[in-house]
Amino acid sequence: MQATSLLAATAAVLTLGLIGCSTPAVGAPCLPEQVPGDGFDQSEAYIETSSVQCETRVCMVYQLAGAPPGTAGCKPQGECRTCTGNDPKCVAIPCCAAQEDIEKRVYCTCRCDVDVGKFAECSCPSGFTCAQVLEQGNAGVRGKYCVRDGTVNLD
């Protein structure tokens, strides 16, 4: 009787493991857990290295202006505001990024062409280019990542 119960429990766990959530690979959509208070800067790339949404565990925001809709404080294009200069009275209100831009610039990625031997790397799939993304920071994150074709300037 006890062996039958153990066998049934093992089968249930294996079945749940097989039908559980599959994790996405490079190019799959993801949303970072942390969004800067004033939104993302179009001239920068943001890497989240512990994303449970990605098989690679790396979610990248690549040169996106604004914040994903639904982010606290994010306003539509006509209602947002950036501050320039040193105006202490100006309060920046982040713009919501367009859904099309989010789909194009926020996705799961991985490090490619790693020049430090002990760090994991991958080959970029079709539609992606291995491009220098981070030049500063820890050796575990600094380097090249798979970037969607058409969004990177390789000059």
Per-residue pLDDT of 91-103, as tens digits, reads: 777 788 888 999 9
Question: To the nearest whole percent, how much of the chain has pLDDT over 90?
Answer: 31
Domains of the chain by residue range? 22-148
Whole-number pLDDT of residue 1: 45
Query: Burial code of 112-146, b = ≥16 C-beta within 10 A, e = fewer?
Result: bebeeeeeebbebeeebbbbebbeeeeeeebbbbb
Mean pLDDT of 23-42: 84
Q: Which has more pLDDT, 118 or 99? A: 99
Which one-letter DSSP state was computed for residue 23?
P
Whole-number pLDDT of residue 7: 34
Whole-number pLDDT of residue 4: 40
Whole-number pLDDT of residue 132: 93
| pLDDT above 60: residue 22 | no
Whole-number pLDDT of residue 24: 52
Mean pLDDT of 26-37: 89
User: Taking all residues of the chain, what is their mean pLDDT, rounded to a whole number?
Assistant: 77
* pTM greater than 0.85 (yes/no): no
- C-alpha–C-alpha distance, residues 64 and 106, integer Å: 8
Ranges 46-55, 83-92, 132-141, most confident: 46-55
- Say if residue 93 is exposed, middle or buried (CB neighbours under 10 Å; 0-12, 13-18, 19+): middle
